[in-house]
Amino acid sequence: MSSLFNAPVSQVYSWEPSNTWIAARHGVDPASILRFDLNTSTTTPAHLAEVLARTSWDPPIHESPDSLYGELAEAAAGYVGADRYEILVGAGMDDVLDIVAKTFLPPGGRAIVPIPTYSMYGVLTSQRNATIDAVPRRPAAEGFALDVDAIVDRLPGADVVWLCTPNNPTASAESPAAIRRILDAAAALGARGPLVVVDEAYHEFTGDTFVGERAAYPNLVVTRTMSKAFALAGARVGYAIACRPTIERLERNRPPGSVTTISAALAAHALREPAYALETAASIPAERDRFGAALTAAGWATYPSVTNFILARIGTPEVAEAATLALLRKGIVARTFGPAHPLRGHLRFTVRSRADNERLVAAATAFTEEAGR
């Protein structure tokens, strides 16, 4: 078996290489690798083991899942305070976003993408043969805020607006007033107005939400994931919340069985007992702010974050590349931004345990001291 069997292949969207590949390429012990690139939880919730054991027989694994995912949809509805028929479930939020694109973004259509933001919006738009209408955000000094005037100007004739709050990868929250202005302007265009997606993947870290606006704005779809605060990224479960007619349109493009029985049971259990996820989320800010300050002191200036990850300015794209390599040689994986990305020269880091974060800070300090010599 080749040790490179997980080598990155050319594809439109992927994340950083696997531990196996990094270990082989950089000569590090795979067990020592720390992933700062995925924005996922760093521990597996222990109490879910019991659910895993039970799901091998109830419902039986040899049966297909309930194609309506009643238990999961009800658990999600209970968690967000919506009706079960205002929920669409999918195999991770990426699957949900794909269903949204299939439903509302026709070939030749146009989607507004405030950049930088989550890369999948552009990927899904291209996959639909629709046009990416990239609207740059305000500069870092203005908190990467949405350029609301520019977005509102471009709403007529657009099919979808992809919004993300808190925004990945800037780690900043969008202003609720800005999102409401976009929703109002889109609603004012009537049936010809675009669908507005509000991606709340990192909702649990702030508590802010637009779920309560779904009745007022039939063109609003809020999306959530079990991958972040709920620590179930490997289970692949996400869901959307919208008014019932909008969910009914989305349901027509939903595959009947994309979420496994095991994942559906795990996610339903987690949503019914969300305390651990909310406690984990609540524990993040203290360590995040300490970690951010330490990175800044080490010479990698960090931006304010309201999430479980931090964006840092490293320097020129070449310096950021050298830093990435220096970290990889120490078994530390950062989220990188390619030469065409508006955040080239930056790296993004997940907030991990204090000890893990200290390993990164030490590596950053060694790198900047070496560079300054």
Residues that bind ligand PMP (CB under 6 A): 39, 92-94, 118, 164, 168, 199, 201, 225, 227, 233, 238
Tell the smallest beta-carbon distance from residue 370 to ligand PMP (Å): 32
Question: Between 168 and 246, whose beta carbon lies closer to ligand PMP?
Answer: 168
Question: Between 79 and 118, whose beta carbon lies closer to ligand PMP?
Answer: 118
Question: Between 224 and 269, whose beta carbon lies closer to ligand PMP?
Answer: 224
Tell the smallest beta-carbon distance from residue 68 to ligand PMP (Å): 20
Tell the smallest beta-carbon distance from residue 167 to ligand PMP (Å): 8
Question: Between 229 and 320, whose beta carbon lies closer to ligand PMP?
Answer: 229
Tell the smallest beta-carbon distance from residue 238 to ligand PMP (Å): 4
Question: Between 169 and 193, whose beta carbon lies closer to ligand PMP?
Answer: 169
Residue number, nearest CB to ligand PMP: 92
Question: Between 246 and 350, whose beta carbon lies closer to ligand PMP?
Answer: 350
Question: Between 264 and 363, whose beta carbon lies closer to ligand PMP?
Answer: 264
Tell the smallest beta-carbon distance from residue 93 to ligand PMP (Å): 3
Tell the smallest beta-carbon distance from residue 76 to ligand PMP (Å): 13
Tell the smallest beta-carbon distance from residue 94 to ligand PMP (Å): 4
Tell the smallest beta-carbon distance from residue 308 to ligand PMP (Å): 10
Question: Between 208 and 358, whose beta carbon lies closer to ligand PMP?
Answer: 208
Tell the smallest beta-carbon distance from residue 219 to ligand PMP (Å): 20
Question: Between 168 and 368, whose beta carbon lies closer to ligand PMP?
Answer: 168
Please name which of 238, 195, 188 lies closest in space to residue 218, comparing C-alpha atoms.
195
Please name which of 15, 16, 17 lies closest in space to residue 7, comparing C-alpha atoms.
17
Tell me the three-class secondary structure of the chain, residue by residue: CCCCCCCCCCCCCCCCCCHHHHHHHHCCCHHHCEECCCCCCCCCCCCHHHHHHHHCECCECCCCCCCCCHHHHHHHHHHHCCCHHHEEEECCHHHHHHHHHHHHCCCCCEEEEEECCCCHHHHHHHHCCCEEEEEECCCHHHCCCCCHHHHHHHCCCCCEEEEECCCCCCCCCCCHHHHHHHHHHHHHCHHHCCEEEEECCCHHHCCCCCHHHCCCCCCEEEEEECCCCCCCHHHCCEEEECCHHHHHHHHCCCCCCCCCHHHHHHHHHHHHCCHHHHHHHHHHHHHHHHHHHHHHHCCCEECCCCCCEEEEECCCHHHHHHHHHHHHCCCEECECCCCCCCCCCEEEEECCCHHHHHHHHHHHHHHHHHHHC
**CB-count burial class (<10 Å; 0-12, 13-18, 19+) for 28:** middle
Is 214 in contact with 178 (CB distance < 8 Å)? no
